[in-house]
Amino acid sequence: MWSDRVITALDAPDWAQAREMLDRLPEENRRVKVGKQLFTRSGPRVVEELRDRGREVFLDLKYHDIPNTVAGALRAAADIGAWMVNVHASGGPRMLEAAREALEGSEARPWLIGVTVLTSMDARELRAVGVEGDPENQVLRLARLAREAGLDGVVASPMEVPMLREELGPDFLLVTPGVRPAGAGADDQRRAATPGRTVADGADYLVVGRPLTRAEDPARAWSSLIAEMDAAAGGT
Protein backbone atom coordinates (compact mmCIF):
# COMPACT_ATOMS: atom_id res chain seq x y z
CA MET A 1 0.00 0.00 0.00
CA TRP A 2 1.27 3.48 -0.83
CA SER A 3 0.31 4.65 2.64
CA ASP A 4 3.16 2.49 3.95
CA ARG A 5 5.63 4.28 1.68
CA VAL A 6 5.09 7.75 3.15
CA ILE A 7 7.23 8.77 6.12
CA THR A 8 5.80 11.85 7.80
CA ALA A 9 8.43 14.17 9.24
CA LEU A 10 7.48 15.17 12.78
CA ASP A 11 9.73 18.22 12.72
CA ALA A 12 8.50 19.67 15.99
CA PRO A 13 10.50 21.30 18.82
CA ASP A 14 9.19 18.93 21.50
CA TRP A 15 7.07 15.84 22.07
CA ALA A 16 3.94 17.80 23.00
CA GLN A 17 3.84 19.53 19.62
CA ALA A 18 4.85 16.35 17.78
CA ARG A 19 1.96 14.55 19.47
CA GLU A 20 -0.44 17.26 18.30
CA MET A 21 0.83 16.80 14.73
CA LEU A 22 0.38 13.05 14.99
CA ASP A 23 -3.13 13.31 16.40
CA ARG A 24 -4.25 15.33 13.36
CA LEU A 25 -3.01 12.72 10.91
CA PRO A 26 -4.94 9.57 9.94
CA GLU A 27 -4.13 6.28 11.65
CA GLU A 28 -2.91 4.73 8.39
CA ASN A 29 0.06 7.10 8.58
CA ARG A 30 2.17 4.38 10.21
CA ARG A 31 5.70 5.63 9.53
CA VAL A 32 7.16 8.82 10.92
CA LYS A 33 10.52 10.57 11.04
CA VAL A 34 12.11 11.91 14.21
CA GLY A 35 14.93 14.38 13.62
CA LYS A 36 17.64 16.10 15.62
CA GLN A 37 15.61 18.86 17.27
CA LEU A 38 12.87 16.63 18.62
CA PHE A 39 15.23 13.86 19.68
CA THR A 40 17.70 16.23 21.34
CA ARG A 41 14.98 17.89 23.40
CA SER A 42 12.80 14.90 24.24
CA GLY A 43 15.15 11.93 23.93
CA PRO A 44 14.56 8.20 23.36
CA ARG A 45 11.14 8.32 25.00
CA VAL A 46 9.81 9.89 21.79
CA VAL A 47 10.64 6.71 19.89
CA GLU A 48 9.10 4.60 22.63
CA GLU A 49 5.93 6.73 22.72
CA LEU A 50 5.55 6.50 18.95
CA ARG A 51 6.04 2.75 18.99
CA ASP A 52 3.36 2.48 21.69
CA ARG A 53 1.05 4.35 19.31
CA GLY A 54 1.70 1.80 16.56
CA ARG A 55 4.16 3.89 14.55
CA GLU A 56 7.47 2.82 13.02
CA VAL A 57 10.21 5.40 13.48
CA PHE A 58 12.84 6.59 11.03
CA LEU A 59 15.42 8.03 13.42
CA ASP A 60 16.94 10.74 11.23
CA LEU A 61 20.10 11.68 13.14
CA LYS A 62 22.54 11.41 10.20
CA TYR A 63 25.46 10.01 12.16
CA HIS A 64 28.89 11.13 10.91
CA ASP A 65 31.84 10.43 13.20
CA ILE A 66 34.72 8.01 13.70
CA PRO A 67 33.71 4.38 13.03
CA ASN A 68 33.59 3.25 16.65
CA THR A 69 31.41 6.17 17.74
CA VAL A 70 28.96 5.66 14.89
CA ALA A 71 28.77 1.92 15.60
CA GLY A 72 27.91 2.55 19.24
CA ALA A 73 25.25 5.11 18.37
CA LEU A 74 23.59 2.74 15.91
CA ARG A 75 23.49 -0.09 18.41
CA ALA A 76 21.74 2.29 20.80
CA ALA A 77 19.25 3.31 18.07
CA ALA A 78 18.46 -0.35 17.42
CA ASP A 79 17.98 -0.98 21.15
CA ILE A 80 15.29 1.71 21.43
CA GLY A 81 13.40 0.25 18.49
CA ALA A 82 14.13 2.48 15.51
CA TRP A 83 12.75 1.06 12.25
CA MET A 84 15.17 2.99 10.02
CA VAL A 85 18.42 4.84 10.76
CA ASN A 86 20.88 6.81 8.67
CA VAL A 87 24.51 7.86 8.44
CA HIS A 88 26.33 10.31 6.17
CA ALA A 89 27.81 8.31 3.30
CA SER A 90 30.60 10.89 3.13
CA GLY A 91 31.93 9.40 6.37
CA GLY A 92 33.84 6.94 4.19
CA PRO A 93 34.13 3.16 3.72
CA ARG A 94 35.39 2.26 7.21
CA MET A 95 32.66 4.22 8.93
CA LEU A 96 29.97 2.73 6.67
CA GLU A 97 31.22 -0.80 7.19
CA ALA A 98 31.34 -0.28 10.97
CA ALA A 99 27.76 0.99 10.84
CA ARG A 100 26.57 -2.10 8.98
CA GLU A 101 28.47 -4.47 11.27
CA ALA A 102 27.07 -2.78 14.38
CA LEU A 103 23.52 -3.69 13.37
CA GLU A 104 24.13 -7.25 12.23
CA GLY A 105 23.41 -8.76 15.64
CA SER A 106 20.36 -6.62 16.42
CA GLU A 107 17.26 -8.50 17.49
CA ALA A 108 15.13 -6.29 15.22
CA ARG A 109 17.62 -4.84 12.76
CA PRO A 110 16.60 -1.42 11.42
CA TRP A 111 17.07 -0.45 7.80
CA LEU A 112 20.41 1.34 7.39
CA ILE A 113 20.61 4.04 4.74
CA GLY A 114 23.26 6.54 3.73
CA VAL A 115 22.72 10.26 3.25
CA THR A 116 24.25 11.39 -0.05
CA VAL A 117 23.86 15.13 -0.74
CA LEU A 118 21.44 17.14 1.37
CA THR A 119 18.43 18.32 -0.62
CA SER A 120 19.11 21.89 0.54
CA MET A 121 22.44 21.89 -1.36
CA ASP A 122 23.13 22.80 -4.97
CA ALA A 123 26.30 22.88 -7.11
CA ARG A 124 27.42 26.24 -5.72
CA GLU A 125 27.26 25.01 -2.13
CA LEU A 126 29.05 21.80 -3.03
CA ARG A 127 31.89 23.83 -4.56
CA ALA A 128 32.11 25.82 -1.33
CA VAL A 129 33.00 22.61 0.55
CA GLY A 130 35.46 21.43 -2.10
CA VAL A 131 33.27 19.17 -4.23
CA GLU A 132 33.44 20.01 -7.91
CA GLY A 133 30.81 18.95 -10.42
CA ASP A 134 27.06 18.55 -10.33
CA PRO A 135 25.19 17.23 -7.27
CA GLU A 136 24.13 14.21 -9.33
CA ASN A 137 27.72 13.05 -9.73
CA GLN A 138 28.40 13.29 -6.00
CA VAL A 139 25.12 11.54 -5.17
CA LEU A 140 26.01 8.61 -7.45
CA ARG A 141 29.55 8.39 -6.07
CA LEU A 142 28.29 8.23 -2.48
CA ALA A 143 25.44 5.86 -3.32
CA ARG A 144 27.87 3.41 -4.88
CA LEU A 145 30.07 3.68 -1.80
CA ALA A 146 27.09 2.93 0.45
CA ARG A 147 26.10 -0.11 -1.59
CA GLU A 148 29.66 -1.45 -1.58
CA ALA A 149 29.70 -1.14 2.23
CA GLY A 150 26.52 -3.20 2.49
CA LEU A 151 23.99 -0.51 3.39
CA ASP A 152 20.35 -1.09 2.48
CA GLY A 153 19.93 2.11 0.51
CA VAL A 154 20.42 5.86 0.43
CA VAL A 155 18.69 9.15 0.98
CA ALA A 156 18.69 11.26 -2.17
CA SER A 157 16.59 14.01 -3.71
CA PRO A 158 13.81 13.16 -6.18
CA MET A 159 16.01 14.56 -8.95
CA GLU A 160 18.45 11.67 -8.60
CA VAL A 161 15.95 8.82 -8.28
CA PRO A 162 15.85 7.80 -11.99
CA MET A 163 19.65 7.74 -12.23
CA LEU A 164 20.09 5.78 -8.99
CA ARG A 165 17.40 3.25 -9.86
CA GLU A 166 19.01 2.61 -13.24
CA GLU A 167 22.55 2.42 -11.85
CA LEU A 168 21.93 0.49 -8.63
CA GLY A 169 19.03 -1.81 -9.52
CA PRO A 170 15.62 -2.56 -8.03
CA ASP A 171 16.67 -3.88 -4.61
CA PHE A 172 18.53 -0.84 -3.28
CA LEU A 173 16.26 1.36 -1.15
CA LEU A 174 15.75 4.95 -2.30
CA VAL A 175 14.39 7.29 0.37
CA THR A 176 13.47 10.74 -0.89
CA PRO A 177 12.95 13.94 1.07
CA GLY A 178 12.24 17.12 -0.86
CA VAL A 179 8.80 15.90 -1.93
CA ARG A 180 6.31 18.68 -2.49
CA PRO A 181 2.73 18.20 -3.80
CA ALA A 182 1.73 20.38 -6.74
CA GLY A 183 1.13 23.92 -5.54
CA ALA A 184 3.12 23.55 -2.33
CA GLY A 185 6.05 25.85 -1.58
CA ALA A 186 9.60 24.54 -1.86
CA ASP A 187 10.55 25.85 1.62
CA ASP A 188 14.33 25.25 2.01
CA GLN A 189 14.52 22.41 -0.52
CA ARG A 190 16.64 23.11 -3.61
CA ARG A 191 16.08 19.80 -5.42
CA ALA A 192 12.40 18.92 -4.98
CA ALA A 193 9.69 17.16 -7.01
CA THR A 194 6.05 16.14 -6.74
CA PRO A 195 5.00 12.84 -5.12
CA GLY A 196 3.63 11.54 -8.41
CA ARG A 197 6.85 12.10 -10.29
CA THR A 198 8.95 10.68 -7.46
CA VAL A 199 6.90 7.47 -7.32
CA ALA A 200 6.88 7.06 -11.09
CA ASP A 201 10.66 7.45 -11.15
CA GLY A 202 11.12 4.55 -8.72
CA ALA A 203 11.42 5.86 -5.15
CA ASP A 204 10.68 3.39 -2.34
CA TYR A 205 9.88 5.83 0.49
CA LEU A 206 8.85 9.48 0.41
CA VAL A 207 9.59 11.74 3.37
CA VAL A 208 6.96 14.47 3.59
CA GLY A 209 6.83 17.08 6.32
CA ARG A 210 5.29 20.54 6.15
CA PRO A 211 2.80 19.83 3.32
CA LEU A 212 1.16 17.37 5.74
CA THR A 213 1.93 18.57 9.26
CA ARG A 214 1.21 22.23 8.56
CA ALA A 215 -1.78 21.69 6.30
CA GLU A 216 -5.08 23.25 7.35
CA ASP A 217 -6.62 19.79 7.07
CA PRO A 218 -3.83 17.18 7.41
CA ALA A 219 -6.17 14.22 6.86
CA ARG A 220 -7.36 15.67 3.57
CA ALA A 221 -3.79 16.51 2.54
CA TRP A 222 -2.82 12.91 3.32
CA SER A 223 -5.65 11.52 1.18
CA SER A 224 -4.66 13.76 -1.74
CA LEU A 225 -1.03 12.71 -1.42
CA ILE A 226 -1.85 9.00 -1.47
CA ALA A 227 -4.23 9.47 -4.41
CA GLU A 228 -1.50 11.25 -6.39
CA MET A 229 0.98 8.46 -5.66
CA ASP A 230 -1.53 5.79 -6.59
CA ALA A 231 -2.37 7.49 -9.87
CA ALA A 232 1.31 7.85 -10.76
CA ALA A 233 1.91 4.17 -10.06
CA GLY A 234 -1.02 3.11 -12.22
CA GLY A 235 -3.22 2.13 -9.32
CA THR A 236 -0.86 -0.54 -8.01
Has 62 been labeled as part of a binding site? yes
Give the distance, in angstroms, between the CA of residue 147 and the centroid of all CA atoms in the same chain: 17
Q: Of the residues 4, 52, 65, 171, which is catalytic?
A: 65
Has 201 been labeled as part of a binding site? no
Has 119 been labeled as part of a binding site? yes
Has 63 been labeled as part of a binding site? yes
Of 44, 25, 118, 121, the C-alpha closest to 82 is 44
Q: Of the residues 4, 62, 134, 188, which is catalytic?
A: 62
User: What is the sign, positive or negative, of the torsion defined by CA atoms of 81, 85, 91, 93?
Assistant: positive
CA distance 54 to 84: 15
Has 205 been labeled as part of a binding site? no
Q: Is 65 a catalytic residue?
A: yes
Has 72 been labeled as part of a binding site? no
Q: Is 23 a catalytic residue?
A: no
Q: Of the residues 52, 60, 152, 171, which is catalytic?
A: 60
Indicate the residue type of 170: P
Has 204 been labeled as part of a binding site? no
Where b means 16+ CB within 10 Å and e means fewer, 62-92 reads bbbeebeebbebbeebbeebbbbbbbbbbbe
Has 68 been labeled as part of a binding site? yes
Q: Is 134 a catalytic residue?
A: no
**Residue numbers belonging to the annotated binding site for substrate:** 11, 33, 60-69, 119, 180, 189, 209-210
**Residue numbers belonging to the annotated binding site:** 11, 33, 60-69, 119, 180, 189, 209-210
Active site residues: 60, 62, 65
